Amino acid sequence: MDSGNDTETHSAPSESAASASLLPFPPSSLGEKKPSRKPSMVWDHYEKMENLDLHNPRYKCKYCGVDYACNSKYGTNTLLNHLNHHCKKYPYRVQDKKQKILTFGVQNESDGSNLFAIGFNKEACRLACAKMIILNELPFSFVEGRGFRMFCNVACPKFDPSSRRTIVRDIYALYLDEKLQLKNTFSLNCQRISLTTDTWTSIQNINYMSLTAHYIDSNWMLHKWILNFCVIPNHKGETIEKLIGNCLYEWGIERVFTITFDNASANNVAIEYIKRKLNNWKRCVLDGDHLHIRCCAHIVNLIVSERLREAHDFIASIRNAVRYVRSSPARLQKFKEYAAQEKIESNSLMFLDVSTRWNSTYLMLEAALKFQKAFERLEDDDGHYLSYFREDDGGRKKDLDHLILLIGTMLLFL
């Protein structure tokens, strides 16, 4: 046999075979990084526990402290389920809008507290906030205060407090709604209405007038509503009569029973105008002969003010004594000690009166009688006490014994 046939010959692979055995080049896109997913929001509410097994990490809830095992193969469903259903301190839980909460509340002032179910209502919360501003006489900026917003965030996280401009609009809308209801009450019922007016001048020298309606409903309940409160240029009868006439026309009030004014001659002009107007409407009782009711409180105020004017010097002495005691914390504390040593039992201390409010003057004088012995101790122990009166009263010293006796007699007329 030919030795050439027995010998294996190895030829080099062809170019096509070599190219077929090699792997193809990867596409250019495989060299780019895939965008990573955003971390779950659940991690904002958990913190990793330290000094534990690194292969089995545990995470603790930031609100209640409960911890759970969490691995990449488990996911975050357990952590989310805890926040949404089990954590009682989680403040951002989204509840079912139809779910209601049992609570105790008072529907009417005359009724006791009852148990009833309520649900979250944004409009009801805004209305309650507007009523709170009105009833408590709070400034509109109260709703923008940091403390109020912090309270709402804890008590009711779903309620977003309004701005001051929004609360103004809500209050005005509430006023218009209440006004419409009251006008409907006046138009549907046939009861007569008694009116009272009040005019005064503020310390800023601004004139005001208010008009109040009083009536009895079908259940014999007395109601009182302020119909108008406005600034007036003066206290003349012509000015008052126009304002009252416009107010009656605006509210649709025709059946007026009586009108109560202060005991001032300028009000007679307003009464004559209103009487003529009501007689034209044929709505007066007895042709308006008893339409004008003079305010008894104003008459008593004139009598008492005249009596106090006669005793001005004596009242000024008591006022100076009270002012001296309350001029510094040390004097007030010393006066309290004198009152305790004299065994004077009183829940209130001396206070200054308001010169235009004679009832506050009465209360000041009444308290002065209770603390008479404490004032005597103050006169004996404090040398500056008498000199205080010499400076303020032009060197006239008042005898406290006769002063208190005179004040006690004067109180019988108040």
pLDDT in tens, 387-409: 666 544 443 445 455 555 555 55
Characterize 16-30 residue by residue with b for buried, 16 or more Cβ atoms within 10 angstroms of its Cβ, and e for exposed. eeeeeeeeeeeeeee
User: How much is the pLDDT for 22?
Assistant: 46
Domains along the chain with CATH numbers? 57-87 (no CATH), 120-188 (no CATH), 191-294 (3.30.420), 304-413 (no CATH)
Residue 34: its pLDDT value, please? 55
Q: Give CA separation, 188 vs 174, 181, 182, 231, 305, in Å.
A: 21, 11, 10, 31, 44
Categorize the per-residue pLDDT at 18 as very low, low, confident or very high, splitting at 50, 70 and 90. Answer: very low
Supply the pLDDT for residue 6. Answer: 46
- Provide the pLDDT for residue 391: 47
Closest CA to 290 of 278, 302, 281, 300: 278
Residue 300's pLDDT is what?
Answer: 79
Poorest-confidence range of 31-45, 70-84, 305-319? 31-45
Of residues 93 and 292, which shows the higher confidence score? Answer: 292
Strands in 222-231's sheet, in edge-to-edge order, are 222-231, 207-216, 193-201, 256-261, 292-294
d(CA 57, CA 50): 9
How high does pLDDT run on average in the chain? 76
Range with top average pLDDT, 6-15, 81-90, 246-255:
246-255
pLDDT tens digits, 38-61: 577 788 888 888 866 777 788 889
Mean pLDDT of 271-277: 81
What is the distance between the alpha carbons of residues 411 and 414, in angstroms, rounded to a whole number?
5
